Amino acid sequence: MKKQLAFMVNSKKCIGCYSCAMACKNQYHQEPGVAWRNLQPLEAKDYPHRDRAFFSLSCNHCEKPVCVQVCPVGAHVKREKDGIVVHSSDKCIYCRQCIESCSYHAPKDNEVLQRAEKCSMCFERIDAGLMPACVQGCPAKALTLVELSAPEAQKGVQYPKGFGKFTQLNPSTRFVEAKAPQLVLAAKDN
Amino acid sequence: MDGKKKQRLEDVCSLSRREILKGLAAAGALASIPAGLFKAEAWERTRYQSGLKTFRNACPRNCYDTCSIVTYVKDGAIEFVEGAKESTFTDGALCVKGFSYPRRVYSPDRIKYPMIQDKRGSGNWRRISWDEALDIISDKILEMKQKDGSLLGMALDKYSGNFGITHYGVEGMFSSLGYTTRFVGTPCWPAGIDAQNFDMGNMWCNDPEDMVKAKYIIVWGGNPAWNSVHTMKFIYEAQARGAKLVVIDPILTQTAAKADTYIRVKTGQDGALALGMAKHIVEKELYDKEFVTKYAKGFKEFKAYLDKHVTVKWAAAETGVSEKIIRQIADEYAKADPATIWIGYGMQRHTNGGASVRSIDALAALTGNIGKEGGGARYGHLSTWGFNYNAMVQKQPEGSVGYTGKDKIKSEFDQTAGETQSYSDRTININKIAESILTTDEPPIRLLWVACKNPFAQDFDRNKMKKAFAKLEMVVTVDQFFNETVQNSDIVLPCTTLFEENTVNVSYWHYWMSLNEKAIENQYEAKSDLEIAALLSAKMNAKVAGSCTFPQITDTKVWMEKEFNDGIYKYFGIKSWEELRNGPKKAILTSTASWSDKKFGTPSGKYEFMSDLAKEYGHKALPEYKERRKPYGKFRILTPHTQFGLHSQFNNIDYMEDFNKGPLVYMNPTAAKSKGIKDGDTVKVSNKTGAVTLKVNLTENIAPDVLLMYEAWFKGKDFNVQELVDDTSSDMGTFKTGAPGVAIHDQFGDIVKA
């Protein structure tokens, strides 16, 4: 198996604090309205309490990334050495094909600068021996980086409830599902 | 990919957009480009850059976590920030607010110059110079002095907008002008402070990092998953080691969602719950006999009170929590060793908040968890705050006339010894600002100076506040954004962000100290509070020699250096503040537990179940049950903190709007159904104080008779929870902070479809 770096999203630990999403904006200065990483609150069918469990999502750095396939200028490249799908927005011609093709909506539409943008897993940080900005920035240690073949990655699931199942892409992100507390509820306040 | 095709496209697009813009800039052609494009060019990044210059910073917001920050700077501009890894508390991470700082510093909405508004609230702002602004202000001060014979007509409204130690220079500036009127006390946490002082003789919590040692954790009326995100990793570690996490709260908070057991208690009935638990512990003889006999005073009397007045059945009826559950958690808590309780600030913002904290403290004492690593009744501490307060301590000019009335009161952060003087400042309860401005006389409050505070967003009864401001002759606000307080001011002075000044910061929760270095030049014409004070002093003295004693030092580094002393150095194990340039330092603690020697700061030197001091201040000597405020409306209205803001700070930043679009009121679906309200409807929430109109979000995270909205100031929106919060006092606070707190969460009202 080829080496594949992947995000491990532990929703059991995630506190929905948005630090990861803002850490990304802090690092790359995304235009207002553009967020390469964001939180997806779990719907009622997947978690019983509204806005209390989340998936922190950006690019899933798929095994067979559709963005790489559709990009006419080779702006999306899957790195051989670690499977990171790197996007070079300076090559982007704003044809919007990646934006429209990705089932996970990882490429974002920057209407101001007229280009597609997405998470490249902070590959320059990784090359410099650092963690991605979002991973380092997670105060709850809920977002981590794993090598897919490592034992810790096996603790995660690939398609948890509430996450799209697109097997042809084979997304690398792994998840630990959120738990709900035992409830003891006063029936009313007064 | 077809190599030929790729080649052709690259030829066509040989110049990237960025390069084109750079070319245009060089050719001076940018003036003709729409402004949006120019800003985007200056701001855009797609690459991480290494090798940048770094500076040490510290988040000065009113927050448990007080993060140690590393700031990366290129060509004099902040590229990005991150948490300092040297601090095991911050541990490399910031919160959503901290990570928004670069955007905040370079926000197009920042106030850039001193400005004057032709008529308050008109929006007709004109740019003026610093010299003009200070000229107008100093004229007013001198006129007041002439008219009143003192400066008591000049009032300072300052609180927690920036906790950098040198920011107490604002108080210093006021003292340097004469005896003035000060709003004192705190809207935040005073009832709990008094409670812990009555019980233990101080507010002094364990090192939060020792929570990993706890076998049982109760988070009571607090929401660290939003308000102390860095503490969560210690709670998780304790859970991983086998600890049980119980969250007690009227709201199923994000912290509650992480608990093993979430208990929804009736709001304001925490005291009854704690006493019910205490009753079970005493009944079953699960209490720590050594602690209650050797280290505590009044156990016998407390036991007698429980015997006579408390039953678990009664507690169940009062709290809505079943007898079985009360007994179960009491049992588990008493048997776990060590077990800890984190007392949140939310649960004491009630007319019986202090009494409730005392009851919870009593649980920790009963079980011998006080003075124990991994134990404790954690609330906060100020033991790392022993600075010189050099900027704050300024002498009044000779011949100053002041207030001759009764007792002076002071801030909980003020650690200076009080001097005996015949004159003093006139002090007024910070939680009654509107009322006080309207009623204070001889002299009336004529000039209000607002710094590190946003009274229109944070103070109670907004409609009364409007009337109060209308009475003021001049309002000067020092701020960074055009918020509602600025809208109601005559003059606004732009202040620097934390990245534009030097100071030092500590926390009221953890035990780290962080240096805050000036990482970039002052933006636009912004000045720090200290620079403003020095300039005002120069202006005053130019007009009337000797009218202001504030040193004319504008370098914030000089001020920062003067705050350190040997005590601080010793406590943190450093020889000089310069060592903090290598990273934050943690205090050298003999134990991670507070009160580890069981020598308490009370008059008896023991833990006081029975406190004569409490009685002196008009409370019960014992931690007895105190009834909650009677409802004055159909729904309870809760207005706690959001994760996206620190009070009124941050929600207005466009980056934050990406994740937090606007205000919502949360309502239980059952209640909504009975009112014909659907998710997403626009509704009006109102009570005797005022009304707000906003969208509704239906959630079972609250009880059917509760409405929830988060306090915040959003840019361009008139949403303000203070429309619905009256200024009713909490029970305690007068002993240690000079004034009682506010019963923020004892508010009621109704909701209709708008």
State the best of A10, A26, A95 to mutate against chain B, taking most chain B CBs within 10 Å: A26
Architecture of domain A5-176: 2-Layer Sandwich (3.30)
pLDDT confidence of residue A61: 98
Cα separation of B204 and B568, whole Å? Answer: 17
Residues in chain B with CB shorter than 8 Å from the CB of A155 are none
pLDDT above 50 for A150: yes
Confirm if A138 and A58 have CB atoms less than 8 A apart. no
pLDDT of B622: 98
Task: Work out the number of other CB atoms within 10 angstroms of the CB of residue A2.
Answer: 11
Tell me if chain B has a CB within 8 Å of the CB of A150: no
Judged by CB atoms closer than 8 Å, whether chains meet at B91 and A139 is answered as yes
Neighbours of B565 (CB within 10 A): 13
Q: Which of B37, B93, B266 minimises the CB distance to A186?
A: B266
* Residue length of chain A: 190
Classify residue B49 as left (phi > 0), alpha (psi -120 to 50) or beta. beta
The shortest CB-CB distance from A184 to any of B82, B261, B631 is to B261
In whole angstroms, give the CA distance from residue B607 to residue B200.
5
Measure CB to CB from residue A74 to each of B1, B47, B706 and give the nearest one. Answer: B1
Chain A and chain B share a number of CB contacts under 8 A equal to 215
- Residue B499 sits at φ, ψ, to 5 deg, of -80, -5
Question: Using the beta-carbon criterion (under 8 Å), do A22 and B10 form an inter-chain contact?
Answer: no
CA distance B450 to B448: 6
**Chain B contacts of A89, Cβ < 8 Å?**
46
- Kindly give the pairing relationship between strand A54-57 and strand A38-41: antiparallel
Tell me if chain B has a CB within 8 Å of the CB of A133. yes
> Which residue pairs from B132-136 have beta carbons closer than 8 angstroms and sit at least 24 positions apart in sequence?
B133/B491, B133/B493, B134/B535, B134/B536, B134/B539, B135/B539, B136/B491
Check CB contact under 8 Å for B43 and A88: no
Q: Report the residue of B5, B44, B105 to disrupt the A interface, i.e. the one with the largest count of A CBs within 10 Å.
A: B44
CB contact under 8 A, A73 and B6: yes
Contacts A182 to B, Cβ<8 Å: 260-262
A31 vs B contacts (CB less than 8 Å): 40, 43-44
**In this complex, is the C-beta atom of A153 within 8 Å of any C-beta atom belonging to chain B?**
no
SS3 B501: coil
Sheet bearing B115-117, strands edge to edge: B125-127, B115-117, B491-494, B474-479, B447-451, B154-158, B181-184, B426-429
B266 neighbourhood in chain A, CB within 8 Å: 186, 188-190
CA distance B57 to chain A (A): 16
Upper half-sphere CA count for residue B515 (Cβ side, 13 Å): 26
Of A93, A133, A139, nearest to B230 by CB-CB distance is A139
Tell me the one-letter amino acid at B183.
F
Burial class (CB in 10 A: 0-12, 13-18, 19+), B26: exposed
What are the pLDDT digits (tens) for A80-99? 999 999 999 989 999 999 99
E strand segments, B152-220: 154-158, 181-184, 216-220
The amino acid at residue B712 is A
Q: Could you give all domains of chain B from N- to C-terminal order, each with its CATH number?
A: 1-44 (no CATH), 115-183+387-394+428-502+516-567 (3.40.50.740), 206-378+598-616 (3.40.228.10), 635-753 (2.40.40.20)
* pLDDT surpasses 90 at A23: yes
**Of B48, B319, B658, which is closest to A32 when you measure between CB atoms?**
B658
Please tell me whether the peptide bond between B603 and the residue prior to it is cis, using omega within 30 degrees of 0.
no
Question: Given this model, what pLDDT does residue B410 score?
Answer: 55
- Min distance A168 CA to chain B CA atoms (Å): 20
Residue B261 has its nearest CB partner, among A124, A182, A188, at A182
Q: Under an 8 A CB cutoff, do B658 and A25 touch?
A: yes
Q: How far is CA A79 from CA A24, A91, A143, B321, in A?
A: 21, 16, 22, 56
Contact B662, B725 (CB under 8 A): no
Is the CB of residue A44 less than 8 Å away from at least one CB of chain B?
no
* Rounded mean pLDDT for each run of 10 residues along chain B, 754 residues in total: 37 41 43 42 70 96 98 95 98 98 96 96 97 98 97 97 97 97 94 98 98 98 98 98 98 98 98 98 98 98 98 98 98 98 98 98 98 98 96 95 70 59 89 94 96 95 94 98 97 98 98 98 97 98 98 96 97 98 98 98 98 98 98 98 97 97 97 98 98 98 98 94 96 95 97 96
Across the interface, of B37, B99, B236, the residue whose CB is closest to A23 is B99
Is A158:A35 a contact under the CB 8 Å cutoff?
Answer: no
Two structure tokens written together for B558: 């000089």
Decide if B703 and A186 are in contact by the 8 Å CB cutoff. Answer: yes
pLDDT of the residue at B665: 98
> What's the pLDDT at B404?
86
d(CA B34, CA A44): 45
